[in-house]
Amino acid sequence: MNIIQTDIPGVVIIEPRVFGDERGYFMESFSQAQFEREVCPTVFVQDNESCSRYGVLRGLHYQLPPRSQSKLVRVVEGRVVDFAVDIRVGSPTFGRYVAVELTGENHRQLFIPRGFAHGFVTLSQRAVFQYKCDEYYAPDHEGAVAWNDPTLAIDWRIPTGDVVLSEKDRHHPRLEAARLFDYGEKLY
C-alpha cells in the first residue's frame, strides 16, 4: 500500500495496490502488520457499513475518551467526499480539516485518528461506505459538531439544498459549544 501524508499529521490516505486483468481486480484492502509498520499501532475491533443515496451527509461524529475511536474508512461502491476535522483544543491544526474523495474505483482509504471529527457526503446516486474502528461504539461517549459550522467553513461540494440529514445530525452544536479533545491526548 502507498501511504500519503496529508497537511494534518496523523491523518493519512492509503492507496492499496490493485491488480487487474480481464477478470476484474484483486487487492489486499487491509494488513494489520503493514498498517502498524507504516501508519500506527492499532487494533481494529469493529467493522461498519452504510449505504447512502445522493446528498446524504453523515457527520461530524466522534467518540470522547475513554472510548475514543480511530477509523479507517473506504468506499466499495459509489463516490463520497470524506472529512477529518481536527478537534483537539490547543493543536496547531485545530479546526482545520482534510477532505478526500473516496470512490469504488480509486480504492483509496482515509485513516482518521482519535481527536478528529469525521463526516462524509455522498456524491453518487448510491454509495456503500465501510469503516473499521479501533473502539466499540459507545453512545454515552458520542460527540458531534454541526456540519455547517461557519468557523469550519467546510466545502461539502454539493448545493446546501441537496443535503440530506438524519434528525440527530440536524441538531449538533457548533465547535465552540461542543465537547472536544485536549491536544496531547493519545491519538492511537
**Predicted local confidence at residue 30, as pLDDT:** 93
d(CA 161, CA 167): 16
Taking only Cα atoms into account, the Rg of the chain, rounded to an integer number of angstroms, comes to 16
Which candidate in 54, 61, 141, 183 is catalytic? 61
- Model confidence over 99-125: pLDDT tens digits? 999 999 999 999 999 999 999 999 999
Taken in order of first residue, the domains within the chain and their CATH numbers are 2-17+31-182 (2.60.120.10)
Strands 109-112 and 71-77: antiparallel
Query: Could you confirm whether 188 is annotated as catalytic?
Result: no
- Model confidence over 42-83: pLDDT tens digits? 999 999 999 999 999 999 999 999 999 999 999 999 999 999
Query: Could you confirm whether 107 is annotated as catalytic?
Result: no
**Predicted local confidence at residue 71, as pLDDT:** 98
Mean pLDDT, residues 165-176 taken together: 97
Contact status, residue 86 vs residue 140, Cβ threshold 8 Å: no
Which candidate in 107, 118, 131, 172 is catalytic? 131
Contact status, residue 183 vs residue 107, Cβ threshold 8 Å: no
**Predicted local confidence at residue 186, as pLDDT:** 66
CB-based burial of residue 101 (10 Å sphere; 0-12 exposed, 13-18 middle, 19+ buried)?
Answer: middle
pLDDT at 187 over 70: no
